[in-house]
Amino acid sequence: MATQIRIPAQEVPVLHECDVLVCGGGCSGIAAAISAARHGCRVTLLERWPSVGGMATNALVNGWHRSDREKMVIYGLVEESAERAFKHGWIRQARNYPHGHETHWFEPEGMRIIWQRMLDEAGVKTLCHLVGGSGCIQRSARWPLLAGREAPRRSPSLPPCGDSRPTTFSEPMSRRCVQPVSRIGSSPTRWGPAIPVSG
């Protein structure tokens, strides 16, 4: 019995060009993509799930410790996200403050909206239901799409997610990138409550 199979080489059409390809739309990926875009890079963000936010929104890990009662411990894009959430009523402070850490709980659905708006405002091209594929050639990543495979032409690739090893800027993506996967858990059994969105 054969222990390996050979996959034939393919010509992959270029979908578009970008300076930075971020693989993973969790909190770190969002921060990397927005930061790169705000510094003038053309950025594409790949997210395998239907929305950005990673564990914070898709797995409901929705608490932030903003301070230890004496000093702030979050800044930058996280603080900007919290300020936007306050404006919409999508974040609240834990009841035990000031006797405990300054913990805030946010509404995951609302935070998805906030982060997607921040990505859009920064000019990041966000592609959901996609992952970086293997076998990338000469600084071009490819990923599976419903109709086949397409590739962005890009410079560095940043996989900032917790389940991926970093790809260095000097190497093309190879076995280090996230392998193609199918959508998991995409059969909802019920609809959640609607969140009003203004503006």
> What are the pLDDT digits (tens) for 163-192?
444 333 333 333 333 333 333 333 344 444
* Mean pLDDT of the 53-78 span: 82
Q: What is the pLDDT of residues 92-120, one digit of tens each?
A: 877 766 666 677 889 999 999 999 999 99
Distance between CA atoms of residues 155 and 12, nearest Å:
17
Q: How many Cα atoms occupy the beta-carbon half-sphere of 34 within 13 Å?
A: 21
Count CB atoms within 10 A of the CB of residue 129. 17
Looking at the chain, the domain(s) classified CATH 3.50.50.60 span 12-58+108-184
Of 77 and 156, the structure prediction assigns the larger pLDDT to 77
Over residues 125-136, the pLDDT tens digits come to: 998 887 766 544
pLDDT for 153 beyond 60: no
Pick the CATH number of 12-58+108-184 from 3.30.70.120, 3.50.50.60, 3.30.70.141, 3.40.47.10: 3.50.50.60
The more confidently predicted of residues 71 and 166 is 71
**Mean pLDDT, to the nearest integer, of 140-166?**
46
Give the predicted TM-score (pTM) of the model: 0.66
Alpha helices in the chain (DSSP H): 27-38, 55-58, 76-88, 108-122
Q: Alpha-carbon distance 166 to 128, whole Å?
A: 20
Q: What does the block give as tokens for 136? A: 């990338």
- In 58-194, DSSP assigns E strands to 63-67, 91-93, 102-106, 125-128, 143-145, 148-153, 157-158
